[in-house]
């Protein structure tokens, strides 16, 4: 009887250990799954796409507007302006001048307010990346922060708190705008090559050699990545 009782105790203890191992494995699986689907997210973004303010500001005098052909949208490309400028309307007016032949973009995002200035029709080719990506991707420019300055291609931050605030403002609006556009054009932001940066466009051979917006995000130090951006866009689409 004594040996039998000892056996039962050992069996019971072994059962508890087995259950513990199973429970631990389940937790690990949940963590891994969570990381796969949500671990790359950059930030929690309040509100929904309906909160995004878009100003229709079509640049009808721009050479880009008058000369460009029709764009069959298959993707979206994210840029940052590459200068210490926060005012989207100011930049839209510069790009919209009749004699401005250098570049064109579909929208600017103001880094003070997050307001989007929609400057060219989404389905019109814009000269935003200097390569074949112009024929396939909508181009959106985020304004940057004035809490810093450029030395060559390097952004030097002078007020970290203000720079982070400005950067997050444009980031949040970009997520909402890209979610809206992905929904409108039936695009999956997680599919390869659909939502890309100018830098990634260059790596794919469809854009000029620029490092935006990753260079800007790195300088500000919020830890943003394009993988996180794509995941945030995907999750924002669930609010539509």
Query: Measured between alpha carbons, how far is 142 from 79 in angstroms, rounded to an integer?
Result: 6
Task: Answer whether residue 204 shows pLDDT above 60.
Answer: yes
Q: In which band, very low, low, confident or very high, does the pLDDT at 46 lie, cut at 50, 70 and 90?
A: confident
Q: Where are the domains of the chain?
A: 1-39, 49-239
122: pLDDT strictly greater than 50: yes
User: Two tokens at 29?
Assistant: 């699986």
- Listed in sequence order, the residues at least 6 apart from 37 whose beta carbon sits closer than 8 Å to its beta carbon are 231
Q: Which helix (H) or strand (E) holds 71?
A: none
Q: How many CB atoms lie within 10 A of CB 99?
A: 8
**Helix (H), strand (E), coil (C) string for 166-215:** HHHHHHHHHHHHHHHHHHHHCCCCCCCCCEEEHHHHHHCCCCCCCCCCHH
CA-closest candidate to residue 122, choices 65, 191, 189: 65
Q: What burial class does residue 20 get, using C-beta atoms within 10 Å of its C-beta: 0-12 exposed, 13-18 middle, 19+ buried? A: exposed
Q: What is the pTM of this model?
A: 0.83
The average pLDDT across 48-66 equals 94
- Mean pLDDT estimate for the chain: 87
Q: What is the pLDDT of residues 137-165, one digit of tens each?
A: 999 999 999 999 999 999 999 999 999 99
Comparing CA positions, the residue from 70, 188, 197 lying closest to residue 141 is: 197
What is the pLDDT averaged over residues 77-103? 96
What CATH number is given for 49-239 in this structure?
3.40.80.10
Answer whether 94's CB lies under 8 Å from 100's CB. Answer: yes
The pLDDT tens digits of the residues spanning 94-106 come to 999 999 988 999 9
Higher pLDDT, 2 or 58: 58
CB atoms within 10 A of CB 31: 11
């Amino acid at each position: 009887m004594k040996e039998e009782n000892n056996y039962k105790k050992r069996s019971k203890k072994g059962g508890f250990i087995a259950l513990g191992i199973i429970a631990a494995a389940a937790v690990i699986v949940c963590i891994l799954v969570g990381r796969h689907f949500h671990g790359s997210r950059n930030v929690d973004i309040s509100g929904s796409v309906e909160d995004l303010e878009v100003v229709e500001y079509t640049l009808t005098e721009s050479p880009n507007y008058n000369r460009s052909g029709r764009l069959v949208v298959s993707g979206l490309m994210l840029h940052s302006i590459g200068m210490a400028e926060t005012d989207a309307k100011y930049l839209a007016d510069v790009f919209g001048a009749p004699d401005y032949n250098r570049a064109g973009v579909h929208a600017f995002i103001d880094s003070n307010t997050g307001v989007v200035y929609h400057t060219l029709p989404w389905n019109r080719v814009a000269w935003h990346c200097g390569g074949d990506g112009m024929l396939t991707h909508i181009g959106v420019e985020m304004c940057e922060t004035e809490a810093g300055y450029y030395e060559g291609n390097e952004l030097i931050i002078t007020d970290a708190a203000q720079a982070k605030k400005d950067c997050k403002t444009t980031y949040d609006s970009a997520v909402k705008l890209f979610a809206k556009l992905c929904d409108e054009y039936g695009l999956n932001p997680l599919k390869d090559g659909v939502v890309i940066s100018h830098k990634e466009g260059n790596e794919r051979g469809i854009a000029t050699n620029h490092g935006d917006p990753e260079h800007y995000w790195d300088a500000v130090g919020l830890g943003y990545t394009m993988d996180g951006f794509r995941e945030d866009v995907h999750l924002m689409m669930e609010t539509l």
